[in-house]
Amino acid sequence: MVYVVNRKGEESTTVLILLEELLKNLSISLLLVSMLLTWIRPKPKKRKRGGRDAPEKLIESIPNHVKQLDRLVRVNDKSCIDNLRMDRNTFGRLCRLLRDRVGLIDQKFVTVEEQVAMFLCILAHHKKTRIVGHNFMRSSQTVSKYMHIVLRGILTLHEVFLVKPEPVDDACTDRRWSWFKGCLGALDGTYINVRVPIADTPRYRNRKGQVTTNTLAVCDRQLRFVYVLPGWEGSAGDSRILRDAISRPLGLKVPKDCYYLCDNAYSNSEGFITPYKGVRYHLKEWGPGTQAPQTPEELFNLKHTKARNMIERAFAVLKMRWGILRSPSFYPIDVQTGLIIACFLLHNFIRTNLEVDPYEECLTNTPADGGNSENEEPVVHTINAVSPTALWTKKRDDLAAAMWGHRMNE
């Protein structure tokens, strides 16, 4: 009996040891399974600003970037003009110019073409950086970075983009300009809406209550800008504006015996010919149903306004092309000023390289036959510091008399 009991006791001990080992192995197995599940289970997704759950791997998104750029600049000219305001050939020339003259290079994941395309989208459609970033599948920081890089590059090329005017000569056959021998173009100013800090708002508010910056510009007969002076506040146009523009080393220079056509905001003096004051002048005053010119002064004003209306057309095409000029942007005022200048410079580049400008064809007014002037109220106040000169007053009178004498031959 004792033997049996001992035998049973040993068997019980053995069973307990086996059970203990099984439980130990089971716990180890469960721990291994838990670790394995933790390792293979996807990590919890974190919400990111902009609505994207997880950042896309950059190397996987490259084909999408290429596809987006192809849609803009490699499909057809119409798509390129609608989105970037220039055809494919002009876009390629601009990128090549920025590469060779400015030194823009392809970055690791962003080419020069994509940098320029993002910048043009901001100017053309006045889109915010996060919207452009969504379209190009880039972050807003990336768009902002290359926007400033391209802007600096374009401003560096201002001497290349600004044209050198050619005076009207005897070979001119354009009836609007044939009488104005030696004329280099037309001069005028325009308002461009800006956004400034609240403390600076009174300085930038114009007579109509809008917060704007004034831009003095000169254009040639092809609606290309010769000179641009942006950045003075509101309606603070006084004699210093024109005086500073003429005296600048790289400013507005008038060769001898040449001149610009101006409105009555300026004085008829050396280099500037204005219409007669107190005589009807604006195109709307010469429209259908109005009386024909009755005096040499009226005939001169009619021909003067038809020729000078080119600056109004240039401003209209400029603002139709670049949406950022039609409403204030959120950039600092110095950046806004740079963007304004860039719009003028790129306008010149497009006019020079694009055979047919679709935005010029969209103008509804017909300056050769009559219509409303863009700026019925002069942007710049009357210039009093530059007083009229007798020599240029006589030049204007002689020109008006010659027009009146040949009126029956036209």
- Residues 6+ away with beta carbon under 8 Å from 98: 104, 112, 116, 150, 153, 154, 157
Least confident of 274-278, 283-287, 375-379: 375-379
pLDDT tens across 117-126, in order? 999 999 999 9
User: If we measure between CA atoms, which residue out of 121, 124, 125 comes closest to residue 133?
Assistant: 121
Give dist(CA 69, CA 83) in Å, integer.
11
Q: Of 248-252, 319-323, 326-330, 353-357, where does mean pLDDT reach its minimum?
A: 248-252
- Report d(CA 351, CA 349) in Å as an integer: 6
Report the alpha-carbon distance of residue 27 to residue 97 in Å, rounded. 71
| For residues 36-44, average pLDDT | 69
Closest by CA position to 410, among listed 276, 277, 283, 306: 306
pLDDT attached to residue 252: 64
Per the structure block, which two tokens stand in for 302? 């009619």
Alpha helices in 215-332 (DSSP H): 239-247, 296-321
Give the H/E segment covering residue 59: helix 58-73
pLDDT at 108: 85
Q: What is the pLDDT of residues 299-317, one digit of tens each?
A: 999 999 999 999 999 999 9
pTM for this predicted structure: 0.76
- Of 257, 245, 89, the C-alpha closest to 168 is 257
Identify the top-confidence range among 16-20, 71-75, 81-85. Answer: 81-85
Protein fold of 58-156: Chromosomal Replication Initiator Protein Dnaa; Chain: A; (1.10.1750)
pLDDT tens digits, residue range 155-193? 999 999 999 989 999 888 888 899 999 999 999 989 999
The pLDDT of residue 62: 59
Q: Where are the domains of the chain?
A: 58-156, 183-409
Q: What is the overall mean pLDDT for the chain? A: 80
- Helix locations, 101-186, DSSP H: 112-125, 129-136, 140-156, 158-161
In which band, very low, low, confident or very high, does the pLDDT at 144 lie, cut at 50, 70 and 90?
very high
Could you tell me the CA-to-CA distances from 272 to 128, 249, 278 in Å, in that order?
A: 41, 19, 18
Of all residues in the chain, the percent with pLDDT exceeding 90 is 37
Question: How would residue 143 be classed by pLDDT, with cut points 50, 70 and 90?
Answer: very high
Output phi, psi for 383, to 5 deg: -85, 115
- Choose between 220 and 61: higher pLDDT: 220
With a cut of 80, say whether residue 324 has pLDDT above it. yes
Instruction: Check: CB of residue 220 under 8 Å from CB of residue 359.
Output: no
State the pLDDT at residue 312: 92
pLDDT surpassing 90 at residue 48: no
Query: Region 83-92: what's the mean pLDDT?
Result: 92
Cα–Cα distances (Å) from 396 to 3, 150, 270, 309, 402, in that order, read 143, 45, 11, 18, 10
